[in-house]
Chain A
């Protein structure tokens, strides 16, 4: 089983290579059915690499290990990134990734919770943080030191339930709860349709110890997570400024980055572009 790596021991280069592997997995998945939420997945890849290969405590052979840290993906449509991370972590087979979004696949385009390693049903946005609060309270009742990480997004903050949960987390002094807020600037109707700025100030006002970083800078991501380890009576928020499609220029520059559906030849072109940019790195 994997314990949290001690702070300051992160091999940034190795984690960046992990992030590239996650991106490669995601491109393979999206090519399978020709579609997917690839923009969001590529954007959050660095965060998931830091989580699964440095920060989280878990046992890939026993995903239900009671002493594990929990990772709740509230934005269920980011599942493409979660499947990549779970495969790379050894919780699900890498060979299964190509079934993403196919009929009868357990790797849904929006997560249900029957696949090992999935802690909640995402997809109805605004559900994740409150469930994270509940898990953190349950762990406290059990005197467990396990932590709870909840990913949520900038658009998702428009759901009022997010703020109901934010209020309660600081009220209950859940210092083992970490919100990872992916601010990629897009939502279903295009660029964020209702301004959520200043995001970090909002979380601070709700009593959260908050940092704001470039979510595609591995050193910054690892550093923010290290800073969130302190058990000081406050829940932690990390505001991650990410670029949708990060690492694949053609997706980064696309206007239709909420959901991608293109033909196989175009996927092959995109994958070739990605492989060229990462060179021979694994």
Chain B
């Protein structure tokens, strides 16, 4: 890599260049709005939460359909069991809680009560990865790894408000259990309304020949901004967005990787068991033996703190992505 790019990376990483990805508009509660909209035409959709309705953006659905909404209290095992029972009567339950509880607390119920019977339940999980400063109790840093191990469970990590709305519609159409990460509150719009989300499909968002960034979740926003900044300094970085962790689009990943000289993965998740592991498995299976640089969280518990501070410390900001790529040498 050129000295110019490395210098640019340092400058950008220190926040001394133009604002990165600034000025994006955002949408309030894209999940809840999409679900409430869907509820009009889909009387089979019901909503559930375990005392986190306010914090998982599902209240627009509750307000529109109070008779089809059930708050089971702080009881995540029961949340999933009740959703399973509702699905057995032909309903399509959307059940919300935080990712840490849906996985660590209710895992046996997700595996046996839902996935083993291929029941049509959608778990929508807040606070994915490093989106809260409440420490290890609230940060679902390993949820993708846990959930991808469950046979038949679809696992989705959307990037932005547009994708959350599109994915909500797609998983309502799809028959089978789904775990979807939720970005809540005021969620940035990265993709324009014409963006198509398809379960199991990766999207090539930017072509580039020097570096190929394979990203999921909100790290795709950072990857796009980093690629744009690096482009101005002469480095060509492509971006492949992989919003579906399972089933994984190994074909698209291998095709993308074949066309670039370096591969970087970027995920809001520990770098073991999630996107990075899936990419390495896919490349190995395709006979592509390339070095993969992994951006993501370390395999340890993260401390409490302000989210921007923690994201910067653990390398999830656009500046950090630029610095990592610039340092590839």
Contact = CB atoms under 8 A, between A and B. Distances in A.
Contacts of B88: 119-120, 131, 134-135, 138
Interface of A: 66, 112-113, 119-121, 123-124, 126-127, 129-139, 141-142, 160-161, 164-165, 167-168, 171-172
B68 interface: yes
A130 B81 contact: yes
24 contacts: A113-B116, A119-B88, A120-B117, A121-B116, A121-B117, A123-B112, A127-B112, A127-B113, A130-B78, A130-B84, A130-B113, A131-B81, A131-B88, A133-B81, A134-B86, A134-B89, A135-B89, A138-B85, A138-B88, A141-B91, A161-B75, A165-B78, A167-B78, A168-B82
Contacts of B116: 112-113, 121
Given A113-B117, A121-B112, A121-B116, A137 B86 contact: yes
A132 B83 CA distance: 10
Nearest to B67: A141
Given A121-B117, A164-B78, A165-B78, A134 B85 contact: yes
A128 to B, nearest CB: 8
Contacts of A113: 116-117
- Taking residues whose C-beta sits less than 8 angstroms from the other chain, chain B's interface range is 20 to 34
A169 B275 CA distance: 40
B105 to A, nearest CB: 10
Contacts, number: 101
A172 B70 CA distance: 9
A168 B78 contact: yes
Contacts of B80: 130
Q: Is the interface of A mostly helix, strand, loop or mixed?
A: helix
B46 interface: yes
B77 A135 contact: no
A49 to B, nearest CB: 25
Given A119-B88, A121-B112, A142-B89, A134 B73 contact: no
B194 to A, nearest CB: 36
